[in-house]
Structure 1
Amino acid sequence: MKKIAMLTLLTLVSSASAVKVGALIPLSGASSVSGQAQKNGLLLAVDEINKAGGVLGQPIELIIEDDQSNPAKAVPAFTKLVTVDRVDFMVGGLGSSTTLAITGAAKQYNTFMAWSGAASPLVEDAMKDYPYFFHYHPWAYYNFEAILAFFKNLKGNKKAKNIAIAYEDGPFGSTGLQDTVAAFKKAGFNVVLTEAFKAGSGNFAPLINKAKTQKVDIFYWIGYDVDALPLVQQMKESNLDVGLVYGAPPSWPIGFEKNKLSQGVASLTMWTPELPSTASKNFVKAYKAKYGSITDEYFAPLAYLNLKTLAEAINKAGSTNKDKVAEVMAKTTFDTPLGKLSFTPSQKIKYQGFKGSNWVTFQFRDEKRIPIFPLKVAKKTVLYPMP
């Protein structure tokens, strides 16, 4: 009888334990602005989930580790979450290089990954046969489709034709570069320069000097927030004459819009605080209540919905069984601040979320981010050439 009673007690204790979710995000290093936005979104989601009753009747437990924007740091941080903290699920993820580094460990430990970042198709290749990988962020080729559509519109109206490409030399910037160049050429553009740089180095003189030998209508750069200010500052100091600077970092430096050097710089976002949907308005209201102001970084609502949708799927599954949760995730359409979310196959993985239909191009204008494309959401026409 004592043995039966003890087993019953252990079962009750086990069933009452909190669901642990690990988050691997860059709170320091080159991607820290995006990582801090992710952290804020995740913590807001925890508040709302637990206020609504938690997961499987218990408060959800979120354990955050900093990958330091460094693949060498990401692997031990990921391993700790899985083996020491023994998390049930993983969320977060931002950099392609850090995500690529942990794909082997994820497969080794059979980890369920609801992943909000990493756009490189190299990650897609690595996870194409993995049954527990749900990818929220559009892959780079979806992103590029939105960028190319804007450039074609710019070309038609403003005769912008010559493109210089500067890219960080990791997986995020360099993957698919040849395909990018080919797509630009097919669309009628002249690619006059392709030049790599080291993210976070702050040294852009070599590529700027090469760009000065060409007529550049569009300067297209792919890097991280840490690269933005030194790049535009050195371009200004070198008197590099370009029609438009178009950046594709996951986030921009805090306060960048207030710097005069930002005026006219264009970029891409998946979300703005002005979106009219109820889900977005509710997020903005809750975010302001918790943090005192709203962010412009889309990784905050993306991380928020990352955890919220996972918690909803676990509750619907009534279990932490990975197969049951995956089945629910695959069949559910979620209402999120970024729009409706459902998981369907991409080119190589089974569970791809957003595919780029909600990308918006904006320009930094008068200390704000002003939507300029697609035309149906544009608040102003494009400022070209830049001041």
Structure 2
Amino acid sequence: MAGEVFVDGINKRGGLLGRKLEWVLLDDQSQPANARTLYERLVTAEKVDLLMGPYGTSAIISAMGVAQRFGKLFIQSSLGDPRLAPYELQYPALPLGPQPRIAATEVVLDAYASQPSPPRTIAFVTSKFPSALDLAKGGQEVAEKRGLKKLLSLEYEFGTRDFGGIAARIKDANPDLLWSGAIGMEAVQMIDAMKRIGYLPGRHFHLFPAPGPTAAHPNANGLTSLTWFEDQEPFTRNAGAAEFVASYTQLAKEAGLPYPVAESQAASEFAAWQILEAAVKGVGRIDDKAMAAWLKANQVQTVLGPRTFDGKFNSGVADTKLKQVQGGKWVTVWPAKFRPPAATFLAS
């Protein structure tokens, strides 16, 4: 949907290099093998000028192999581990930095260290989903270096729905901070399971929770998670952000989405298109190697903020933030300069 907003907007402005931009969108059904086949079709049969990466790490890796074989610039918005993208013409929209397994927990612990009583003990409970598991292992390294005492380290199968036993283990550990590698609805299910046994952590972080259901949950107030964009200042002052938010919100409501709010996932996809546009305009022609070189040497203004691609994996520097559920809404709380006016970081 974010891509649709971008394509509609750029065509209203006259297109790209004087031509209307046509988006050839094929459904890979979230299957990496399908992504590989469809990207080969895009290059060989459809003969598209430009490639935009699919959603999800596995599909991105499959599609990137095709891009590399044909020497195509490849911009993607959701690869969780930069180490999986050694292709020199690959550029990430999301500013994870070269080591998100370290940077993610650093921002979490930096935030909590700013509170009057920083956590001294921590528990790690994570899905075995590859990106979540890697971030949890990196997080444990960060916590150890900072002197936090690890009270629990627990892994569960991706797709787990019964969190009763896990909740009991968390309650027994009773950490100052729960680091949860929950994905999607797992965060809500974990909270429900803990609440059923009369327990909620004073401070809890969840990695990739479903934003709408989590924010609306009656027992989620104070919960934190990662973010790179929220529909609030100062993000809405970034390049194209106000227009993106307005158009995306309207389209999402018309489509009947249960959570029609512009947040990190949609913003990262939109930023990927902004990066592609900047590369084409910067070079002035369709030339994959020249566009890649231009991106390597230039800063691009996006809805996520200024984006650079120096360093390993063209990743640039990490620019991860922390958001918190406050009164049924997500509020960015760390770094402090990204808080909306008058917002605070709720302590336990």
TM-score category by the smaller chain?
Answer: 0.7 to 0.9
Alignment partner of 1:356 out of 310, 318, 335: 318
For 1:164 and 1:150, the matched residues in 2 are separated by 17
For 1:319 and 1:82, the matched residues in 2 are separated by 18
Alignment partner of 2:220 out of 229, 241, 262: 262
Deviation at 1:221, TM superposition (A): 1.4
User: What is the CA deviation profile of residues 126-152 of structure 1, one whole-angstrom value per residue up to 9, with x for unaligned ones?
Assistant: 332x22101122142333332231132
Deviation at 1:65, TM superposition (A): 3.7
Match in the other structure for 2:231: 273
Checking the alignment, whether the CA contact within 8 Å between 1:49 and 1:308 is kept in structure 2 is no
Match in the other structure for 2:283: 317
Please state if 1:299 is matched with 2:260: no
Question: Given the superposition, is the C-alpha separation of residues 311 and 375 from structure 1 closer, same or farther in structure 2, using an over 3 Å criterion?
Answer: closer
What TM-score, normalized to structure 2?
Answer: 0.84
Alignment partner of 1:240 out of 162, 181, 199: 199
Match in the other structure for 1:42: 3
Alignment partner of 1:107 out of 68, 74, 77: 68
Deviation at 1:272, TM superposition (A): 1.9
Q: Percent identity?
A: 22
For 1:271 and 1:190, the matched residues in 2 are separated by 31
What TM-score, normalized to structure 1?
Answer: 0.77
SS in 2 for 1:246: strand
For 1:178 and 1:42, the matched residues in 2 are separated by 33
Alignment partner of 1:199 out of 143, 147, 158: 158
Match in the other structure for 2:132: 173
Residue pairs, 1:1-387, within 5 angstroms: 40-71=1-32, 73-120=34-81, 124-128=82-86, 130-137=87-94, 138-139=96-97, 140=100, 141-154=102-115, 157-175=116-134, 177-249=136-208, 252-276=210-234, 277=237, 279=239, 280-288=241-249, 290-291=251-252, 295-345=261-311, 348-349=312-313, 351-353=314-316, 355-357=317-319, 359-378=320-339, 379-385=342-348
Corresponding pairs, count: 334
Question: Given the superposition, is the C-alpha separation of residues 365 and 329 from structure 1 closer, same or farther in structure 2, using an over 3 Å criterion?
Answer: same
Question: Given the superposition, is the C-alpha separation of residues 210 and 79 from structure 1 closer, same or farther in structure 2, using an over 3 Å criterion?
Answer: farther
Question: Given the superposition, is the C-alpha separation of residues 218 and 323 from structure 1 closer, same or farther in structure 2, using an over 3 Å criterion?
Answer: same
For 2:221 and 2:327, the matched residues in 1 are separated by 7
Question: Given the superposition, is the C-alpha separation of residues 134 and 283 from structure 1 closer, same or farther in structure 2, using an over 3 Å criterion?
Answer: same
| Cα RMSD after superposing both structures | 2.7
Runs of 4+ deviating beyond 6 Å: none
SS in 2 for 1:165: strand
Checking the alignment, whether the CA contact within 8 Å between 1:95 and 1:172 is kept in structure 2 is no
SS in 1 for 2:277: helix
Deviation at 1:266, TM superposition (A): 1.1
Deviation at 1:46, TM superposition (A): 0.1
User: What is the CA deviation profile of residues 243-265 of structure 1, one whole-angstrom value per residue up to 9, with x for unaligned ones?
Assistant: 1121111x624343222132221
Consecutive unaligned residues of structure 1, counting only runs of 5 or more, are 1-39
